A = this chain, B = another copy of it.
């Protein structure tokens, strides 16, 4: 979704960390913006679950380190992110708050024949907001795994979000979010008040 935010398409993936405390499994309550947030956005993303850790993983064998997938939302406080970009500081307030990472149930690798050919969509209150096929991803799953592992050892259980398509937009308390990887997994979340 770089184009719609006026960002250049990056030559390399832009990496940031979300803490495990930001996980929100389906059924565990609403997703909520951080204190003071006035512009909470949804970003639907394919999540890749690492089963075999490693450092300097070659692209060629990267898929051997994948145990499966989740459908994930990279919930983002766009107001805090814009402030952070302007100041040149990390995106922590924008990306790392409790409930910032709603996730579906785990999908074992065997259920996905090609992770770069999945139809995904996100609806807000029944209206499609984001719709994509993962063949549109800027960087492939093996590329991202290899890229991260050059700098940071990957461990079993790590979850990598792989970027979002166009259509990111603000949500309000009580909005109903519904997302699906077609034929693979679906999930529903409600938006709550800010933390």
Residues of A within 8 A of B (CB): 14-17, 19, 21-22, 34-35, 55, 84-86, 88-93, 96-98, 150-153, 155, 195
Contact = CB atoms under 8 A, between A and B. Distances in A.
Given A17-B96, A98-B151, 17 more contacts: A14-B89, A14-B90, A15-B96, A17-B17, A17-B19, A17-B92, A19-B152, A21-B155, A22-B152, A35-B150, A35-B151, A85-B89, A88-B88, A92-B151, A97-B152, A98-B152, A150-B195
Secondary structure of the A side of the interface? loop
A152 B17 contact: no
Given A86-B88, A90-B14, A96 B19 contact: no
Contact of A93 (B85, B98, B151): B151
A113 to B, nearest CB: 31
A155 B23 CA distance: 14
Contacts of A96: 15, 17, 151-152
